[in-house]
Structure 1
Amino acid sequence: MIEGRILPWTEDLQDEGYPVWTDWEAGQRDVFFLDRDGVVDTTFNITPYDPGNPEDYTYIMNLILDLRNETWGQDTVTDIDGNVYETVQIGEQLWMKENLKVTHYNNGDEIPTGYSNSEWASLSTGAYTVYNDNEINADTYGYLYNWYAIDLETGVCPEGWHVPTDDEWTILSDYLGGSDIAGGKLKECTEGSCPESEYWNSPNMGATNESGFTGLPGGCRWASSGSYLYLGVVGFFWSSTEFSNDDAWYRILNCNYSGIGRTIDYKGYGSSVRCVKDEPEVGTILVPYSTG
């Protein structure tokens, strides 16, 4: 074991002279919260602590966030409209396990909607829609947003959450074994009867939903025509990462593919949105390990 190991989500500040205090009495591994100046604010003892254990990770994060009256491993999160979403921890990320269905930006402004096909195709500002203009679809699949809506600083995700970057999507798929197989682990299926699904068209290839992400095939609204396509077949999920003035990165889950696709397309597409929890801005946490 490495003495003075720093938790993986923090900046490495193990410079010479940095204050590290250790106490191996009773085999305890002492966790310290330090502010930006290296001053110890609070000391917690965890016995034992395993940084690779999601339960231990959640426990540590909650100890940290208690100092800010926040919660890391929360079971639900609520948007500005009052919609409540279940969450799931996958690796060191906390994700919504439902598609976003908010109708207001976080500053309270309404997100425009109600566009005809031709109007949608000509948009270069934020908007949302519901598949086939049928509000019943929003109950299951959430709304479809163009990229302009998720790019605004006002934000569409609940406070403390954000639309994942392209890199954050990659972290997710890498944790689940790589893009060739991660899709199946992310796709919804009927518990006990996978890959069967009430929502995905057959064959729902490779679907196990073992991650708990519960990815759904919400389809899309085409950028060039405003047409609705692929409900039950494909789930399109935006990233916040721009590729060019016209295009942005997103991810694709497909009933005929066990992987997760990564590609770019026009910002005018209407696609689903999943939110991921912000990493807290806290001081460094040092976890001393006994070397013997």
Structure 2
Amino acid sequence: MKNTLFIILPALLFVACGNDSSTSANNSNDDISSKSSSSQMSVLSSSDKVADVIGNSMTDSRDGQKYKIVKIGSQVWMAQNLNYEMADSYCYENYAGSCTKYGRLYTWAAAMDSAGIWSTTGKGCGYGKICSPTYPVRGVCPSGWHLPTQTEWNTLFTVVGGSSVAGEKLKSTSGWYNNGNGTDGFGFSALPAGYRRYYGFSGGNNCAGFWSASEHDSNDAYYIYLSIDNVGAYLELSLKDNAFSVRCLKD
């Protein structure tokens, strides 16, 4: 059931955080991954190696970029947004420095690797179609990591104290506009990367959105948002053609 705190928020939040879906999310804890059974991931590139994890960091073997990682409960997360360049991914306001600071923004099709470049688990998933992914969906993530489902995001919220306070716990301690910073109590270090709609960028310094691998219908998929206006973190729906950040979860 949708958290009632969200319902009473001002309409500006919908603009700032990319919720322009025509369908309301139900914030259910049902495991959407039950649509498909898990199977061995088929990696299509023989040069693709499992990301090297050393201490509190990992290296993406595809481009050599290094990312901080953090263990929260039983889950191991990237503690930085993915910055792997591919089609339908963007730097905020098309400024390369934004990618360096915030990572890239991906459409849902790009996040799911709809083209099947790295695996077949999310192949064919995109706007205007219902797909049948095989979980875990590697998507655009490095080998050995995957795009988290709605259920896996909810697991994170539970560990940090519940969705009503998760935003404050997951946001970085600096960088958010108007003292909207968080406590970063678990090292997730979410920055206000904003998002991209088909007609332009919005939400920089005000909000962060992260895709899930969970589809709602042919047009909408689940994402989580964090905002300067709220200490919570919520799963909502957005059009698949919008572009949000990606945080990968270790297999």
1:75 maps to 2:75: no
Query: Whole-Å Cα distance in 2 between the matches of residues 181 and 268 of structure 1?
Result: 29
Percent identity of the aligned residues? 37
| Superposition TM-score, scaled by structure 2 size | 0.68
Contact 2:67 2:79 in 1 (8 A): yes
Matched, 1:214 2:195: no
Aligned to 1:238: 211
Distance 1:233 1:170 in 2: 22
Alignment of 1:18-33 (within 5 A): none
**Paired position in structure 2 for 1:157:** 141
Q: Give the corresponding residue for 1:137.
A: 98
Q: List runs of 5+ in structure 2 lacking aligned partners.
A: 1-49, 119-138
User: How many residues in Structure 1 have an aligned counterpart in Structure 2?
Assistant: 178
Q: Distance in 1 between matches of 2:69 and 2:102?
A: 16
SS at structure 2 position matched to 1:89: strand
- Secondary structure at the counterpart of residue 209 of structure 2: strand
- Which AA in structure 1 matches 2:73? G
Pair 131,244 (structure 1): closer, same or farther in 2 beyond 3 Å: same
Whole-angstrom CA distance in 2 between matches of 1:156 and 1:70: 13
Within 2, Cα distance between the matches of 1:70 and 1:156? 13
Q: Structure 1 residues 100, 72: CA separation in 2 closer, same or farther (over 3 Å shift)? A: closer
Q: Is the 8 A contact 1:96 1:274 kept in 2?
A: yes
Structure 1 counterpart of 2:78: 96
Shift of 1:261: 1.8
* Residues 72, 85 of structure 1: alpha-carbon distance in 2 compared, 3 angstrom cutoff: closer
Q: CA deviation at 1:277?
A: 0.3
Q: Secondary structure at the match of 2:98?
A: helix
Runs of 4+ in 1 over 6 A off after TM superposition: 69-73
TM (norm. structure 1) is 0.58
For 1:115-134, what aligned pairs fall within 5 Å after superposition? 127-134=88-95
Which residue, 207, 211, 225 being the options, matches 1:252? 225
Matching residue's letter, 2:176: W
Question: Deviation string for 1:196-255 (max 9, x for gaps)?
Answer: x2x1102316x11001000011000014x2x10010000010001111111100000101
Give the aligned partner of residue 60 of structure 1: none
Query: Which residue identity lines up with residue 188 of structure 2 in the other structure?
Result: F
Gaps of 5+ in 1: 1-68, 104-110, 113-126, 190-196, 279-292
Q: Is the 8 A contact 1:183 1:257 kept in 2?
A: yes
Residues 175 and 73 of structure 1: is their aligned pair in 2 closer, same or farther, counting only changes over 3 Å? farther
Contact 1:147/1:248, CA 8 A, preserved across alignment: yes
| Offset of residue 137 of structure 1 | 0.6
> Do the aligned residues in 2 keep the contact of 1:237 with 1:274 (CA within 8 Å)?
yes
Q: Cα gap change, 1:165/1:73 in structure 2, threshold over 3 Å: closer, same or farther?
A: farther
* Aligned residues of 2:52 and 2:59 also touching (Cα < 8 A): no
Give 1 or 2 for the bigger CA radius of gyration: 1
Q: Which residue of 1 aligns with 2:46?
A: none
Are the equivalent residues in 1 in contact too, given 2:195–2:244 (CA < 8 A)?
yes
SS in 2 for 1:218: coil
Using a 3 Å threshold, how does the CA distance of structure 1 residues 72 and 135 change in structure 2: closer, same or farther? closer
> Residue 179 of structure 2: which of 203, 207, 215 is its match?
203
Indicate the residue corresponding to 1:267 in structure 2: 240
| SS of the residue 1:202 aligns to | helix
Change (3 A) 1:214 1:156: same
